[in-house]
Structure 1
Amino acid sequence: MSDRILVTGGTGKTGRLVAGQLVNRGIEALIATRYPSSADHVYFDWDDPTSHASALDGVTSVYLVAPTDRTEQLPAMRPFLEQAVSRASGRLVLQSASSLDEGGPMMGEVHAWLHTYAPRWTVLRPSWFMQNFTTQHLPSITHDRCIYSATQDGRVPFIDVADIAAVGVEALTDPALASRDHVLTGPEALTYDEVAHLIAEEVSRPVHHLRLSMEKLTARYVGVGIPQHYAMALARMDEAIAQGAEDRTTVEVERMTGHTPNSFVNFLATNRSCFDTA
């Protein structure tokens, strides 16, 4: 039987790249979405159990991106995971985060569930995305000429989502890979002050890092429509960075894919136009 891989979050940052890289290898990628619009799409909704069985029809492996509109993912994902374990003969690959240990909050609970119940599983634990600066941070960079955070002097080994996707594809397609988690990082850890300086150099205009307290960052998130409990969870992640939780690099991207992870300087050069067209 040929591989048929279901990609949840298939229209998102990593999911669409995972699907594209699978197709480039000649592997069928089925994109799970609430709004299917083409032949390679299938209707899927975490909150609609009636969509789960049909989405898994003929599927061998699954790329899992948890729902992001809540802080407790396992209750929403468990009904689907139970079906996936019994019906998919291959591997379940979860995109989690470097800040979330097995058994911890959010995707950490899903990680622990997979370890207990899935015959073959992989958990990707990437650090923060480089693409955050061309998406959610972009309005403040272009309009306020600053990046808001509560990270203080904490360092982050920002990673390109293309590198995450490349590792995900290896995990989905290598049947000999041992079940475990992989902490994925870029090649260097940077403070937000350093990030602001590098962006300023690239765009040839001032960009600063504005240091906020956790409370003020929470209020800023709430002000743009993020629910209070989720805003607090995001702000606490910044506080953890300030305390050194992300100050590390790993060689997992190169070990899994054979290529070195993209650098932040190269990422900025490649995406220079984003800062001009915003």
Structure 2
Amino acid sequence: MTELIAVTGATGRVGRRVTRRLAEAGAPVRALGRDPEKLAALPAGDTRTASYDDAAAMRAALDGTATLFLVSAHEGPGRVRTHATAVDAAVAAGVRRVVYLSYLGAAPHATFTYARDHWYTEQHIRSTGVRHTFLRDSAYQADLAAMTGADGILRGPAGDGRVAAVTHDDIADSAAAVLLGTDAHDGATYDMTGPEALSFAEIAEALARAAGRPVAYVPETRDEAFASRAGYGAPDWEVEGWVTSYEAVATGEMDTVSDAVRTLTGHPPQAFADFLAANPRVYRHLTA
């Protein structure tokens, strides 16, 4: 029988899907999150309220669990420290395996600033000696649609670079397969991508076909990118994250195409055009 699996971020886009898949597979699952009302709506009968940066709450919430699926915390200057607190609490609670939702190209000097956080988190997990698996997600296909303005313009300093974006469902299927799988996944790092690397011009073309209206990619310089996002009132670190996510595409750090989804799940990852056809809600702002 599968031992108890804890899923953090269980009310989010990935955690919710993973929780559902584990429950449907009959696996014992404990859903963790910060909002008890949202947790109550999940298919998991065992739910606990805890925040990553509350070590005591995390340790209590993870007591008795064998495996932790750790969804990365919201971006912020103290993100690595927050992750470390959660990981240390898990180890203290007796968790024997951590499956961490990381990011493609995670490295200490990655162009995308948030990818650096993921690398340092991976290093901390390794340092504890706990069994571990890292799922390094590419960008999400739904986010590519959301990044396009209602004016039909997708703008950013991505140059002619390419990105093999992936769907939340493919990530959830893959994560569930690892969580329900054997120790063959221990120590593995999987690059999680879609089936094709698209330029932003091709992404705009796919959105135009789906929405039935013109959509264009407008390349920006770094200075233009910061200027066009200045009006959002976001903190500097967040704007830098937005801008460098495009720059990582321009440098070729996001053009990896992996067969990990097929290997883990037995089915191919969904193509961007097929995702758009099945999910018109993600681009409804372009058709209003």
TM-score, normalisation: structure 2: 0.87
Equivalent position to 2:259, from 251, 257, 263: 251
Per-residue displacement from partner, 1:7-39 (whole Å, max 9, x unpaired)? Answer: 111111211111111111011322221111225
- How many pairs does the alignment contain? 274
Contact 1:202–1:269 at 8 Å: present in 2 too? Answer: yes
Hey, what does 2:188 align to over in structure 1?
A: 180
Flag the 1:80–1:103 CA change in 2: closer, same or farther, 3 A: farther
Flag the 1:217–1:246 CA change in 2: closer, same or farther, 3 A: same
- Residue type of the alignment partner of 2:4: R
Hey, what does 1:147 align to over in structure 2?
A: 154
For residue 107 of structure 1, report the CA deviation from its aligned partner.
1.1
For 1:11 and 1:224, locate their aligned partners in 2 and report how far apart those are by CA, in whole Å. Answer: 26
For 1:43 and 1:252, locate their aligned partners in 2 and report how far apart those are by CA, in whole Å. Answer: 32
Pairing 1:208–2:216 present? yes
Per-residue displacement from partner, 1:47-105 (whole Å, max 9, x unpaired)? Answer: 32331122112222111122223144221122221121243444201111102137972
For residue 109 of structure 1, report the CA deviation from its aligned partner.
0.5
Flag the 1:90–1:50 CA change in 2: closer, same or farther, 3 A: closer
RMSD: 2.1
Hey, what does 2:3 align to over in structure 1?
A: 3
Q: Counterparts in 2 of 1:189-204, with a 5 A limit?
A: 189-204=197-212
SS of structure 2 residue aligned to 1:45: coil
Contact 1:72–1:106 at 8 Å: present in 2 too? Answer: no
Hey, what does 2:125 align to over in structure 1?
A: 114
For residue 154 of structure 1, report the CA deviation from its aligned partner.
0.6
Pairing 1:133–2:144 present? yes
- Residue type of the alignment partner of 2:160: D
Q: Where does structure 2 lack aligned partners over 5 or more consecutive residues?
A: 111-115
Q: Counterparts in 2 of 1:2-21, with a 5 A limit?
A: 2-21=2-21
TM-score, normalisation: structure 1: 0.90
For 1:103 and 1:245, locate their aligned partners in 2 and report how far apart those are by CA, in whole Å. Answer: 11
For residue 2 of structure 1, report the CA deviation from its aligned partner.
4.9
Taking only the aligned residue pairs, the percentage that are identical comes to: 27
For residue 246 of structure 1, report the CA deviation from its aligned partner.
1.2
Contact 2:53–2:85 at 8 Å: present in 1 too? Answer: no
For 2:77 and 2:117, locate their aligned partners in 1 and report how far apart those are by CA, in whole Å. Answer: 5
Q: Counterparts in 2 of 1:82-101, with a 5 A limit?
A: 82-101=88-107
